[in-house]
């Protein structure tokens, strides 16, 4: 068991996007975990009360300030970075991290949905995958950050200080995929993605994907969140 035991704040943006694998991995860290529905709750949060902030995916865009919670999350990220509280951003969460670090966010020329391989500069931190993607937006690499992985369509992983931003979804489980296929069938239809094939592939890859996710999260803990603090 890890000796880190971080008090963790998980930012969830809507009902169909729960923490998935993050819950089990954090339990193995003996973490104290609070899941906060930022789309429903306007409570002011002090990031100094936490040792880790995890931001999950969302159907909304991290550049859309018309969404009420987006500006609240921008402020929270800014405060967390100023307080040196590590952030792990997953898809929307990674895009939000890129935004706060000075990236340009935009609608991508093409969506990425499915289990896709990456090109990586640091396979011990972020492997080639395949990792699960479901996104329509993208971003430029943040100024001063280290770009770890990418595809032809978008940056996929970057490190800035004690923070790791990801474009893909390491948290996804077969149960989450069942819910996404149920909640967002119009998005799959628009992109010509077969929902039955997606579910079957997710179940087929489930055990290997979990192992790959654990390697990523352990490396984030040891090489980003904790090693950068020690420097």
Residue pLDDT, tens place only, 58-68: 999 999 999 99
Q: Which tens digit of pLDDT belongs to each residue from 141-165? A: 999 999 999 999 999 999 999 999 9
Instruction: Check whether 83 has a pLDDT greater than 60.
Output: yes
91 among known catalytic residues: yes
Question: Could you list the residue range(s) of the whole structural domain that residue 193 is in?
Answer: 7-230
**Which pLDDT score, from 0 to 100, does residue 185 have?**
95
Asked whether residue 82 is domain-assigned, the answer is yes
For the chain, the domain total comes to 1
In a domain, 144, yes or no: yes
Identify whether 152 is part of a domain.
Answer: yes
Active site residue 227: no
The answer to whether the CB of 33 falls within 8 A of the CB of 10 is: yes
Asked if residue 2 belongs to a domain, the reply is no
Q: Is residue 188 part of a domain?
A: yes
* Backbone phi, psi, residue 147, to 5°: -75, 120
**Which residue among 171, 189, 191, 227 is the active-site one?**
171
Mean pLDDT over 208-224 rounds to 97
> What is the reported pLDDT for 4?
87
For the residues of 88-146, what is the DSSP string, one character each? EEETHHHHHHHHHTT--EEEEEEEEEEEE--EES-TTTS----EEEEEEEEEPPPTTPE
Q: Report yes or no on 70 lying in a domain.
A: yes
Does pLDDT of 1 surpass 50?
Answer: no
Set 169, 175, 179, 227: catalytic member: 169
Over the chain, what is the mean pLDDT?
95
CATH number at residue 133: 3.40.50.880
Which phi and psi (to 5°) does residue 86 adopt? -65, 145
């Amino acid at each position: 068991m890890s000796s880190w035991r971080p008090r963790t704040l998980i930012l969830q943006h809507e009902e169909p996007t729960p923490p998935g694998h993050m819950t089990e991995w954090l339990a193995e860290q003996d973490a104290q975990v609070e899941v906060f529905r930022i789309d429903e709750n306007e409570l002011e949060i002090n990031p100094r009360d936490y040792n880790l902030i995890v931001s999950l995916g969302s159907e909304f865009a991290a550049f859309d300030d018309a969404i009420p919670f987006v500006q609240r999350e921008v402020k929270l990220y800014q405060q967390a970075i100023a307080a040196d509280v590590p952030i792990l951003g997953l898809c929307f969460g990674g895009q939000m991290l890129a935004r706060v670090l000075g990236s340009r966010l935009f609608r991508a020329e093409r969506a990425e949905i499915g289990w896709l391989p990456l090109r990586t500069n640091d396979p011990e931190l972020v492997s080639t995958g395949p990792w699960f993607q479901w996104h329509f937006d993208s971003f430029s690499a943040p100024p001063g950050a280290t770009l770890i992985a990418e595809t032809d369509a978008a940056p996929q992983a970057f490190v800035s200080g004690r923070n790791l931003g990801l474009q893909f979804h390491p948290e996804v489980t077969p149960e989450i995929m069942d819910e996404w296929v149920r909640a967002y069938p119009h998005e799959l239809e628009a992109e010509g993605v077969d929902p039955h094939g997606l579910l079957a592939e997710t179940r087929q890859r489930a055990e290997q994907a979990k192992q790959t996710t654990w390697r990523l999260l352990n490396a984030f803990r040891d090489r980003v969140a904790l090693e950068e603090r020690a420097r």
